[in-house]
């Protein structure tokens, strides 16, 4: 079988950041898939499952309620490798264009207090797998170390 494009990225050199994973045309509209990479693959510990699940709940809720962007949000979800998330959006977009949105999203997560949205048996298939303190810590780390200090290297896949 042919190797899919996401498995051709050099994960040894990949930094934390925001990357365009792919762009697809659907019924004449462009769908941009972003790689929201929170951890350097194979070089630092992956995100804890509970923290990543909480980040998923909080980010998806925040993004789908954002007045400016909610109509363009298609999907937010974790990567199987536990090093980040995928964000699918309507539009031919760049990391630079969504950087303020990601800064706001991760600031929201880092400062969030209260019940995690959707963390109830009737709302979630694994509602007990939540870790708000670690989600807040990971979000603040990503925000302060990456999103507030973005460089071209954090927005272009290594070649």
pLDDT in tens, 37-87: 999 999 999 999 999 999 999 999 999 999 999 999 999 999 999 999 999
Residue 22 resides in a domain: yes
Residue 57 resides in a domain: yes
3-class secondary structure, 58: helix
Q: In which domain, by residue range, is 121 found?
A: 5-150
For the chain, the 3-state helix, strand and coil shares in percent, each to the nearest 5, are 40, 20, 40
What's the pTM?
Answer: 0.95
Residue 12 resides in a domain: yes
**What's the number of domains the chain is made of?**
1
Q: Decide: 141 and 3 in contact? Cβ < 8 Å.
A: no
3-class secondary structure, 143: helix
């Amino acid at each position: 079988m042919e190797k899919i494009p996401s498995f051709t990225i050099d994960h040894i050199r990949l930094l934390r950041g925001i990357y365009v994973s792919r762009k697809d045309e659907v019924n004449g509209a462009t769908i941009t898939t972003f790689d929201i990479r929170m951890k350097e693959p194979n070089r630092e510990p992956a995100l804890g499952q509970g923290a990543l699940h909480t980040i998923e709940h909080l980010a998806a809720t925040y993004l789908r309620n954002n007045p400016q962007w909610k109509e363009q949000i298609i999907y937010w979800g974790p990567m199987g490798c536990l090093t980040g998330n995928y964000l699918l959006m309507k539009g031919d977009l760049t990391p630079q264009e969504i950087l303020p949105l990601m800064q706001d999203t991760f600031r929201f997560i880092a400062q969030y207090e209260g019940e995690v949205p959707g963390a109830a048996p009737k709302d979630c298939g694994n509602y007990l797998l939540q870790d708000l303190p670690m989600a807040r810590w990971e979000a603040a780390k990503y925000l302060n170390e990456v999103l507030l200090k973005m460089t071209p290297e954090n927005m272009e896949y290594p070649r």
